[in-house]
Amino acid sequence: MTSIVLADVSKWYGQVLGVANVTLTVAPGITGLLGPNGAGKTTLMKLIAGLLRPSRGRAAIGDAAPWSDLAARRRLGYCPEHEGLYEELTGLEFVVAMAELAGLPRARARERAEAALVRLGLADAMNRRLGGYSKGMRQRAKLAQALAHEPDVLLLDEPLTGCDPIARESLIEEIRGLGAAGKTVLVSSHVLYEVEALTHDIVVMFRGRVLAEGDIYRLRELIDEHPHRVHVECDRPRALAEALVGEDHVTRVAFEDGAIEIETRVPDRLYDAIPAAALARGVKIGALTSPDNNLQSVFEYLTEKK
């Protein structure tokens, strides 16, 4: 069981700051690295992979720093965002070459490469040139080369970009399986629902800094001072509103067609109050949802504060 450990890591390019003072531990399982384009996600992944040397601090896989330790680099698989594939190679040739670079002997590399390509749905295309692959097939080939040498740690930089819905769902299931198997998987994305489909454990980056980290619901607790909305569909919205409007934590009640939206600064109290009020007033609730209890709202609130 291997963790990613970052201790006060910074990276700058002349006067440009790429990553600033990041201290972070990524445990086995899936962790989402969330942030807009330019937030520093790719720079952070390259520092972890040993492709960049920190200007300050230390990036390690367990106790070893990939920048200086070949054995540590061979313990990780990296699926980059960029499209720099060797287009004259077949999918199989590409994955075999990358597995050999990761330290596998040729025969074992070919065996593992074939298995990885089959696993990712490229059995019929493995002997075709990469230049003829679709965007989704390229993504799967990149993931296959990251998996072929069976690393402990996987760095997946925007792995779902350009995939059609079927390929996207297939890759999501594959990545979930890696986390369930005990791998340490760091997945970056600027697409909020992609991260939410993979994991509740997230790290939010913005302008090279980590704004917040942890379970999505614990992060919600960090911003409880921000009004939290709950949407309730019911048969008697006015009766429910009358029962809740006097609660000291309720700041606003708005009526919609067959529903009400309640705003509170203490979500836990509201979630307890709604069923109690409905039971007391004989109100039948059809649905209860919150537009704020998701990554989109957490991310927007955290970044707007900066």
Which tokens belong to 97?
A: 């070459």
Spatial strand order of the sheet with 259-264 comes to 250-256, 259-264, 228-234, 285-289
Provide the CATH number for the domain formed by 223-304 in this structure. 3.30.70.100
pLDDT tens, residue by residue, 123-142: 999 999 999 998 889 989 99
Interhelix angle for 267-281 vs 237-244, to 10°?
Answer: 130
Give pLDDT tens digits along the chain (306 positions). Answer: 789 999 999 999 888 889 999 999 999 999 999 888 888 999 999 999 999 999 999 999 988 999 999 999 999 999 998 877 889 999 999 999 999 999 999 999 999 999 999 999 999 999 999 999 988 899 899 999 999 999 999 999 998 887 778 888 888 999 999 999 999 999 998 877 788 889 989 999 988 999 889 887 777 666 666 778 899 999 999 999 999 998 999 999 999 888 999 999 888 889 899 999 999 999 999 999 887 776 667 777 777 765
Annotate 236-279 with DSSP letters as a single string: -HHHHHHHHTT-TTEEEEEEETTEEEEEES-HHHHHHHHHHHHH
pLDDT of residue 124: 95
pLDDT tens, residue by residue, 261-274: 999 988 888 989 99
pLDDT of residue 51: 95
pLDDT of residue 268: 82
Which tokens belong to 135?
A: 């965007």
pLDDT of residue 223: 64
DSSP 156: E
pLDDT of residue 14: 86
Domains of the chain, residue spans: 4-215, 223-304
Smallest Cα–Cα separation from 159: which of 254, 151, 150, 145? 145
Indicate the SS3 state at residue 225.
coil
Q: What is the rounded CA–CA span in Å between residue 21 and residue 79?
A: 24
pLDDT of residue 9: 97
pLDDT of residue 305: 60
DSSP 64: B
User: Where are the extended beta strands (E) located within the chain?
Assistant: 4-13, 16-26, 29-34, 56-61, 76-79, 153-157, 184-189, 201-206, 209-215, 228-234, 250-256, 259-264, 285-289
pLDDT of residue 220: 67
Q: What CA–CA distances, in Å, run from 227 to 155, 241, 289? A: 35, 17, 15
CATH class of 4-215: alpha beta
